[in-house]
Structure 1
Amino acid sequence: MNLIVILGLFTSIANIFAEKFGFRVDKSESCALRACNKIYSNKINVHLIPHSHDDVGWLKAVDEYYYGLHEDVQNVGIQYIFESVLQALKHNVDRRYIQVETAYFWKWWQKQPQEKKDLFKSFVESGRIEMVGGGWTMNDEACTNYQSIINQFTWGLRLLNDTLGDCGRPKIGWQIDPFGHSREQASIFKQMGYDAIFFTRLSIDDRNRRKATQDLEFMWKSNDNFKDSEIFTSAMDGYYAPSDFCWDYLQCDSDAINDDPESFDYNLPKKIEEFAKRIDSYKKYFRTNNILFAMGGDFQYQAAEINFLNIDKLIKGFESSKKYNVFYSTPSCYVNAVKKANATFSVKESGDFFPYNENDHVYWAGYYTSRSTLKRYERVGNNILQAAQNLNAFAKLRKICNGSECEENIRSLREAVSTMQHHDAITGTEKERVAYDYSRILTSAIRDTEKSIGKTIGNILKLDNITEDVTLPLTTCLLTNISVCDQTMKDRSLIVIYNPLPKYATYYIRVPVQNGTYTLTGIYGPINFELIQHMNYPVDYPFDSSDIELSASDSIPPMGMKVYYLQKISNTSSAIEPTFLKENELIHLGNNKSKITFDSKTNELTIRKNQNEFQTKQKFMYYVSNNGTGDLPGSGDNITSGAYVFRPVNGSAAVNIEETGFGGLDSKVMYTKGDTMVEIIQQFGKYIVQTLRYIVEGELEYIEYDWVVGPLNNKTVDTPNNKGIEIIARYSVNNIKSDYFYTDSNGRQMIQRERNNYAYNNDSIEPVASNYYPVTSRITIKNSTKDLQMSVVTDRSQGGSSLKDGEIELLIHRRTLRDDHKGLEETLEEMEYGEYIVTRGSHYLITSSAASSRTERILALNKMTQPWMLVADATGEDMDLDTLKAKINFKWIGCKANGEQGLPPNLNVLNFEPWKDDTFLLRLEHIFEQNEDKEYSKEVSVELKHLFDPFVMNSIQELSLAANEFIRERITGDNYKVTLGPMEIRTFLVTFK
């Protein structure tokens, strides 16, 4: 055993001894810095960082990458990297390595003998291996929601804590491959206690400007709502080793270093001279005498000795240099050296790094929308995860399951949703067969979670006099978007709805049923509902679908449930059929609060409320994808739209689908009017159908646009000329001048965007793509002078912009016919059930005062964290209504703050889930920014002790955002009162009496 390993083990024993006697040892910094090399003030210090970037799925599926399957696609086996690196580190005590993705680490770790685990851990404790990043994946930063980002880091970092202890706690954000970088991601890293962020995807114009001003390293002010939000950020020139110095046996073709002076091919002096030139060229962009080279790349180090042996020789060749100090290093050692140099760095005060462009023509803005249905499915999976975490926490409190069972019930779903955050998963930049595998993993995890959820819910709901277990055969209808749900097509069915929000939430039950007459029974008896014939779908799916939909709404209690019993009583048809609108006919959608009319001739909504009048119009349009043939002036050779890149035909405006017929059929407008609702149904050509609804939820009111788009088949796409199609929904409103518009950062902070300002005088070359930004939850335009604003809340990530005053557009569906040459080597032409894919989604239009974003902020949260609807076939003898009423309550409340009304509207329970042993993880958030709302942007306090009565909290300790480090002593006081300011998230480890 070498000296470094012995020292590491000795330190571990010392730390255990110290903690045993009550001393808390902060090892998170000392471990990472134990093996840092000496820095010379009179030399250029060159930090070489060996690493491997291991995508959690991309060209191959996750397990295919790990085990090394399908070598014909990519010759990669990640399990070999771990084995090879461990052996190589044993050969030379000077060598270093960093490990990033916990998904692969955990898969490897579970199968290792104790001796190998001890060896890996000793390298971590001695500082020779640094764990960086540490999330389950290296997540995307454009399409992901903050809730999912935090969850995937929480799970990944917990596993590192469990296996490697405090020395395995990362302090460096290593985001080297995502396609642009968000402000909220930087804020999350800061709140998790990270010291720095490293990334490489920086737009060419921005990079050149920063090089000229030595600003590749800077302090990033990540959040205006916090006093201390700056984090050191380094924009590397790339994450591959410099050309001619990349020695991986599969990924590189650089000449090896021959250090034998007696050999005819001796090339060490030449290599040293060449590398010195690289150092001199790179050094001029930095403010200290430290520079960093990432010595690795995608899936490198499967044969680690080849890389390390050549780097050893390179380092040895500089040993006698008076100008250069070249050595193995890690990111924490580099940051430590930079800080000690006491340089002054510029501060990035606002904004982010979107859109990412490689040159004047290549804007990576297509992936904001690519694989639209997969993006929506990720939201569904995350929504179910949040609800399942809550329910398993309540099950643990009620001893329905023990601590380990309650965690295992949701483990696979945690990991599946975390996998979806990967920058080649939710982005839609993976091969289609890999996208199918992501969907398979997520579906399997949802079904695994459901195996225990029927018992969990049944026992939570069971009456006090029932002693035996009550298990309900509940499942999730994942295909209600195409009007498929086997359980609700029965003569009797049970519907259970759980609300994960800590306040009452209005939920709209919409389920497919047979045509007939029904009763819907709830806690207080019959529930009002409508049976309507819904919009027609353009594809006949191979399922037992229905064109009849039951529609009802109810208020679901805070973190609580309601139960409904649906029973068919006759075959007599009672569904309301749509009626065609007459020419110039006006339909009234509003109520006494807002007067809303729809004009079928102009497709305009007129909204009158609070003495303001908005005239809004929505239409579907499309851009023609540039086919990259260079046949247009300034079009650029071989540059086309693809999974990554959005590039409409140069200079072309979007085409109005309504005017083109889009599939050969005329557009038409119908409406459905019942006792409790009015719906407008629009058909645009053959392949777009949309339903409009005016929705009121307490103080919230908005217009829902429920659309179905596709299939984008050869009747709609110019396949002979290889020109794809990019479908947008464009919303316009009078009275709003919108040079500035606003998009959310991962569903959290709002970022101001200025039209035609991003690309540093190059915006006119690609006038559409250069103005596109990721919209994770909402986009807003406003006119502060007239106190007016219009927002659109989305149900998934999409690309969006405001290209003209008073307009918002969102890219909702794509089919491209050429690869965009970013490594995928595949066109974006999704198929499903033998037809080009159809996407269904919703936009929520809000018109309001510019002085408050109350509705937008609350609605975005409500749509992100929707109630979970589960259904069951109730045709069995033990599932009739009377039998169920004798066993279970039809209503249950989990959060009993504020007299069972739940938390105030500006507070949210972001997480409540079972944790280790007898503990629970509780995460609270303030959902408003400063100055967003006169009332709701204020600091707010809440008492936690009786939040989940009858279960009373016994102790509360505060953790870092990622729950992997204690940051305060136990919270005291009679009722455990805590206070949150705007945008603040606080994480607690709690126990109950």
Structure 2
Amino acid sequence: MVSKLSGPAGKGQRRNQCPFVTIEEMSTVSPDHIDSFHQSLVNGGYIKYNTGAGIVEGKLNVHLVPHSHDDVGWLKTIDQYYVGSNNSIQGACVENVLDSVVESLLRNQNRKFVFAEMAFFSRWWYEQSEEIQETVGKLVDGGRLEFICIFVLRNGGWCMHDEATVHYIDMIDQTTLGHRLIKKAFNKAPRAGWQIDPFGHSAVQAYLLGAELGFDSVHFARIDYQDRAKRKEDKSLEVIWRGSKTFGSTSQIFTNAFPVHYSPPNGFGFEIDDFSIPVQDNPHLFDYNVEQRVNDFVAAALVQANVTRTDHIMWTMGDDFQYQYAETWFKQMDKLIHYVNKGHFVLVENRGRTSFFFLLWGWVGERMGERGGSWLSWQERNYASHEAHVEATLGSQLYKIVLNNNPRKSGNIAFRTCGVHPKTIEGTVFLETIKLTLLLQSIPEDGRVNALYSTPSMYVDAKHATNEEWPLKTHDYFPYADRINAYWTGYFTSRPALKRYVRMLSGYYLAARQLEFLAGRSSNGLNTFSLGDALGIAQHHDAVTGTAKQHTTNDYAKRLAIGASEVGCSACKLNLVTEATVNSALSCIASKNSGQCAASTSSFSQCQLLNISFCPPTEEDIPEGKSLVVVAYNPLGWKRTDFVRIPVNDSDFVVQDSTGNTIEAQYLKVDNVTINLRNFYTKAYLGRSPKNVPKFWLLFQVSVPPLGWNTYFISKASGKESSRSGYITVMDSPQNESIEVGPGSLKMSFSSTTGQLERMFDSKTGVSCLTFPLSVEPVFFDKMNWGEVWFSVVQFNCEQEYYDHPVDLPIQQSYLWYGSSDGGLDSQPSGAYIFRPNGAPPTVVSRSVPLKVMRGPLVDEVHQQFSPWIYQVVILAMDLGLHKTIFDHDRVLVTRLYKDKDHAEVEFTIGPIPVDDSVGKEVITRMTANMVTNKVFYTDSSGRDFLKRVRDYREDWSLSVNQPEAGNYYPRAADFDLFFPRLILESLPRIRNQNFLSWLIVPLEESSIKDGQVELMLHRRMIFDDGRGVGEALDETTCVENTCEGLTVRGNYYMSIDLLGDGAQWRRTTGQEIYSPLLLAFTHEKLETWTASHLTKGTVMEPNYSLPLNVAVITLQELDDGSVLLRLAHLYEAGEDAKYSTLAKVELQKMFRGKKIKEITETNLSTNQEKSEMKSLKWKVEGDNGDETAPLRGGPVDNSTLVVELGPMEIRTFLLEF
């Protein structure tokens, strides 16, 4: 080997250039055997670092895992992060990261890298040439580029999703999107979950988006600071996590909680602008520090080893948007691996005044065999004043290799000068000649530490091979606090409008994909990918959480809106239209002639702003001779009956069902709050105000078959034709009486004195005579006041129903707000992430509420004015037993009671929250009952399993309570239960075991601060930033021209009461109906023309077939390759319900009427590997005695019968070929 080396240069002189030539001493050792490092003489020449280290038994193995955590939007938008724009906010460019990493990996075959966010990688991948794609494919094949994901969802997910505010279906969808990209590009399946940054971790993440994906492990950084301290002490940061009570050990996963964060130990971050000291191994330069850096490395490794089991520890070598110039990281890691593993060093320093010597001792015995020994390379470094002496004595630069492993002994020294043949003299003679006094400092080899490039999968395999016994973890990692007074529970509610939008479009996406499959994917490229991409991005742990900057949040909402309508995908070169796809598909499947699918003339419209009464197709005048055609699609696997509520401008319509029969309908005045919201927000969203304001809501009942549709026709009444439509009666609250509303079994009672809720009663015993009008005669109509409409009932019908179990619950409802802390003495305010009240009790909005009652043929309403910014309306259905409450103005609550569903639906409208007093406010509604609950309540895990919560208690450590409110708030994606094992009902003569349940359609947060109380946090508006990086207060405003006001939100939650153990059926069935609402589409057409050309009612299933009520279709989608993805989910946990926590069966051939299934393949949850190929690692667990009962799971699918079995909580995924 030949290398260009330069000798010392004198003042005004040019350095001599002299090639280095390896000298053999007595020809005993071939130069080919000499380590390349020693050939370089470490004086500025090339050094080939030995980075190929593997695991070494008996040493502490430090697994260096290079990674870059790239938020899919946070301080900048996803596209700004990708291309590196808007760097005034943050200098970050993911495109540079991927370009740079690939280049660095190609320089050294031992280097590795972990990447998680496929939303970024997809952008980069489709921009690359075929040559680059092939090169990257080789890196992945060689295990050097590992795609891991978050959470479980994802390793290799579209994003690193949140785990608190997301729904499990969204987690599955975004993970599948990323995994299918990896499978298509590289034919690989990720093995490890990489959820390093989400703010707490859910049980569903562990088993569903972990083990059920085929992951061996999940890795993350954020756990409670008290929990981390205890786990460090017990060496229990790494555990076996069993997140499911139903599946137990069959869905367990190895879990690695990092000791500090997802960055490396202090002093070992090597981004180009970091302050860490690099390894300086060129002794020809100042600040040579190899010894010190190795010592630092060993010390940091030993510290981590003291809190970790086995001889393997992981260093996460990266941080947010790191590796933009990857070589700064990899070069330092190369050096660390090389020097840490090399052995010991010997420093020889010349004590002379004008020069000093360095000796670097490297072990190369393994390379040189028996003739080897240790080789010592050393270099003379001269100051200018000594140069003349060296030049006169020895010529120019001296190169030497010293043989023997002890420089104190006399040995042969080989050296040469430029232009002179090599010379050999005795080492002692040479030393005496130049008359230098040497100081030898020997540093013994540590022998305990081995460093290597690694990945999460390699790390877990090494852990598994140790056969260690691991601690058991159940439950979840919520709530999370990173220090005292800093609970990250505020984000459970932050930006509730975005949270609702995500949830609404998630259900829409589920239905749209079904319709896309039923109609067949369009050959012109129309599909639902755009919405899937936007929803995948929105699940990111700084998106749906509400913890991004405002301009980034706007970008998330914009992408969702475009995804729901239309967008062009430059990467995929497709024009993607979701709403157009749905409209086309609805027209196609309803057509009597399948040939019309390709060129349907029907023009459907949908109404995304229906909740604020904006729906142009229903508000327009119906053309003469035509009807308003309403097609309702049901994405559930069972028949459903529901109300449709649309805004109209007339009060004389006839509503007909698909058979032409006239059905009951009712008008409700559109309240002023809704009108104000409509006018302001349509202008804000659409840039224009509606010309007309609808006067009424038109309500009617629909019934839709499973995976099917039904059509309803609305037309002007003509002549003597009866509209069978009812108006409403308005009356002021009576004095000194309780007001009972609710025509079904579930009723609510309100105080006429305070106007507030007093009790809920479910009359499930005795006989109840339910009356409803067959016809209605308007008596009085005040055109000056739309709220005053009277009617008289002409005829009633009575039905008797028998109930066995009455439930009576005294309960009060109130609205309050917590004042947000400004930080206090420890400078920790409440903010987007953190909920920290100011210490004062929450302020009650109002204790006396004006009351107004409205009654009609289909619904009753109770209006309550809590304050100038809280208004509530309770609406009760006559036919279905519907009771609804509405909050108008700043906060409006609407509650609906359904006779057949036994629940109250509450629709709230909140905002703008006033902050003129410079106090941030966190708005809650509180339900209070006189009962003892022993601090126990239950919340869901990502809308799937139920977890027991105990106030001021943690399962894994003794909790030090410093925030009694914030520390007891938990995320709620769907459900909340308050169980009362010792419920005291003062209104009854006996004690009964009952429970109170509350369901939420949007992800918020909930707590039980006192026994018998439930708190729902609904909206937040802050004054201060909480210091977690966003740099903005959570102060959402909406502006129209020069008018700006705080954000107003409208959402829903649901309440029910049942005997203990009887609530599961309502919770699971209603929850699925809420997540997957009816999809409505509107058009105008002549009734005769429509019925002649369209099937007015139909289903993809056999006419008399439906799925069991404990099974849901959570995915039905045609994929790019023509195969069909089908996911079926059992909705119940083991032991949750006597009837439905059982084995369920689905007959696929009946599910797909008229289609023949040619092939069926069962896969893992994300479809990237066949189920039969999944292999899980077996782990030893402390205290595990092996007496666990095996969970009930479905068996293999018989290709002849095509019957799918599902056990409790089981989700089965199939790829079908038709």
Is 2:384 the counterpart of 1:195? no
- TM-score (structure 1 length as normaliser): 0.90
Q: Does the C-alpha gap of structure 1 residues 480 and 578 become closer, same or farther in structure 2, counting only changes over 3 Å? A: farther
Task: Give the CA deviation at 1:504.
Answer: 1.1
Alignment match, 2:759: 605
Q: Does the C-alpha gap of structure 1 residues 40 and 892 become closer, same or farther in structure 2, counting only changes over 3 Å? A: same
Task: Give the CA deviation at 1:990.
Answer: 1.2
User: SS where residue 502 of structure 1 aligns?
Assistant: coil
1:350-381 CA distance string (max 9 Å, x none): 21001100122000000000000000000111
Is 2:1041 the counterpart of 1:845? no
Matches of 2:712 and 2:169 in 1, distance apart? 30
Matches of 1:885 and 1:430 in 2, distance apart? 50
Task: Give the CA deviation at 1:844.
Answer: 0.5
Alignment match, 1:818: 1024
Gaps of 5+ in 1: 1-34, 631-636, 660-665
Task: Give the CA deviation at 1:200.
Answer: 0.3
Which stretch of structure 1 is more off in the superposition, 368-377 or 509-518?
509-518
Q: Is the 8 A contact 1:369 1:812 kept in 2?
A: yes
Amino acid at match of 1:772: Y
Task: Give the CA deviation at 1:319.
Answer: 2.0
Q: Radius of gyration: which is bigger?
A: 2
Alignment match, 1:628: 823
State which of 817, 835, 849 in structure 2 corresponds to 1:646: 835
Alignment match, 2:733: 581
State which of 646, 652, 664 in structure 2 corresponds to 1:528: 664
Matches of 2:697 and 2:236 in 1, distance apart? 58
Matches of 1:467 and 1:761 in 2, distance apart? 67
Alignment match, 1:338: 463
Which stretch of structure 1 is more off in the superposition, 271-280 or 178-187?
271-280
Task: Give the CA deviation at 1:280.
Answer: 1.0
Q: Is the 8 A contact 2:749 2:760 kept in 1?
A: yes
Which stretch of structure 1 is more off in the superposition, 238-247 or 768-777?
238-247
Task: Give the CA deviation at 1:467.
Answer: 5.4
Task: Give the CA deviation at 1:772.
Answer: 0.4
1:591-641 CA distance string (max 9 Å, x none): 4534543334342233133222112222111100011133xxxxxx21111
State which of 952, 963, 966 in structure 2 corresponds to 1:769: 966
Alignment match, 2:812: 617
Matches of 2:1215 and 2:253 in 1, distance apart? 26
Counterpart mapping for 1:333-412 below 5 A: 333-348=458-473, 350-396=474-520, 401=522, 405=525, 408-412=526-530
Matches of 2:603 and 2:934 in 1, distance apart? 52
Task: Give the CA deviation at 1:740.
Answer: 0.8
Matches of 2:485 and 2:86 in 1, distance apart? 34
Matches of 1:515 and 1:619 in 2, distance apart? 37
Alignment match, 2:1209: 983
1:330-368 CA distance string (max 9 Å, x none): 1111111111111110111x2100110012200000000
Alignment match, 1:952: 1156
Is 2:708 the counterpart of 1:560? yes
1:513-552 CA distance string (max 9 Å, x none): 2243222232133232211114432655133353521222
Alignment match, 1:128: 144
Q: Does the C-alpha gap of structure 1 residues 574 and 986 become closer, same or farther in structure 2, counting only changes over 3 Å? A: closer
Amino acid at match of 1:355: P
Task: Give the CA deviation at 1:561.
Answer: 1.0
Counterpart mapping for 1:672-683 below 5 A: 672-683=854-865
Amino acid at match of 1:706: E
Which stretch of structure 1 is more off in the superposition, 933-942 or 175-184?
933-942
Amino acid at match of 1:657: V
1:798-835 CA distance string (max 9 Å, x none): 11101111111110000010000000000001112321
Matches of 2:80 and 2:734 in 1, distance apart? 58
Alignment match, 2:981: 784
Alignment match, 1:243: 266
Is 2:623 the counterpart of 1:519? no
Matches of 1:422 and 1:51 in 2, distance apart? 18
Is 2:860 the counterpart of 1:860? no
Is 2:935 the counterpart of 1:747? no
Matches of 2:1212 and 2:811 in 1, distance apart? 40
Task: Give the CA deviation at 1:733.
Answer: 2.8
Matches of 1:778 and 1:625 in 2, distance apart? 26
Is 2:671 the counterpart of 1:476? no
Is 2:694 the counterpart of 1:546? yes
Counterpart mapping for 1:716-731 below 5 A: 717-719=916-918, 723-731=919-927
Alignment match, 2:310: 288
Which stretch of structure 1 is more off in the superposition, 526-535 or 420-429?
526-535
Q: Does the C-alpha gap of structure 1 residues 547 and 654 become closer, same or farther in structure 2, counting only changes over 3 Å? A: farther
Give the fraction of aligned pairs with identical amino acids, expressed as a percent.
33
Matches of 2:726 and 2:1112 in 1, distance apart? 41
Q: Is the 8 A contact 1:521 1:566 kept in 2?
A: yes
Is 2:922 the counterpart of 1:804? no
Q: Is the 8 A contact 1:922 1:990 kept in 2?
A: yes
Q: Does the C-alpha gap of structure 1 residues 36 and 159 become closer, same or farther in structure 2, counting only changes over 3 Å? A: farther
Alignment match, 1:20: none
Matches of 2:948 and 2:706 in 1, distance apart? 34
Q: Does the C-alpha gap of structure 1 residues 629 and 471 become closer, same or farther in structure 2, counting only changes over 3 Å? A: farther
Matches of 1:615 and 1:472 in 2, distance apart? 53
Q: Is the 8 A contact 1:530 1:676 kept in 2?
A: yes
Is 2:586 the counterpart of 1:457? yes
Counterpart mapping for 1:822-833 below 5 A: 822-833=1028-1039
User: SS where residue 611 of structure 1 aligns?
Assistant: strand
Is 2:547 the counterpart of 1:429? yes
User: SS where residue 1057 of structure 2 aligns?
Assistant: strand
Q: Is the 8 A contact 1:355 1:772 kept in 2?
A: yes
- TM-score (structure 2 length as normaliser): 0.74
Matches of 1:78 and 1:287 in 2, distance apart? 35
Which stretch of structure 1 is more off in the superposition, 527-536 or 220-229?
527-536
Q: Is the 8 A contact 1:915 1:921 kept in 2?
A: yes
Aligned Cα root-mean-square deviation (Å): 2.2
Gaps of 5+ in 2: 1-50, 150-155, 344-446, 566-576, 623-627, 684-688, 764-804, 877-881, 883-896, 983-991, 1174-1195
Alignment match, 1:28: none
Alignment match, 1:926: 1130
Matches of 1:692 and 1:623 in 2, distance apart? 25
User: SS where residue 457 of structure 1 aligns?
Assistant: helix
* Count of residues in correspondence between the two structures: 923
1:715-760 CA distance string (max 9 Å, x none): xx521xxx20000011123445251100000000000000111395
Counterpart mapping for 1:439-450 below 5 A: 439-447=557-565, 448-450=577-579
Task: Give the CA deviation at 1:859.
Answer: 1.2
Matches of 1:235 and 1:465 in 2, distance apart? 55
Alignment match, 1:671: 853
Task: Give the CA deviation at 1:773.
Answer: 0.3
Q: Is the 8 A contact 2:1114 2:1129 kept in 1?
A: yes
Amino acid at match of 1:613: D
Q: Is the 8 A contact 1:491 1:567 kept in 2?
A: no
Amino acid at match of 1:358: D
Matches of 1:570 and 1:299 in 2, distance apart? 67
Amino acid at match of 1:864: Y
Alignment match, 2:1110: 906
Alignment match, 1:159: 181
Which stretch of structure 1 is more off in the superposition, 41-50 or 458-467?
458-467
Alignment match, 1:57: 73
Q: Is the 8 A contact 1:557 1:893 kept in 2?
A: yes
Alignment match, 1:757: 953
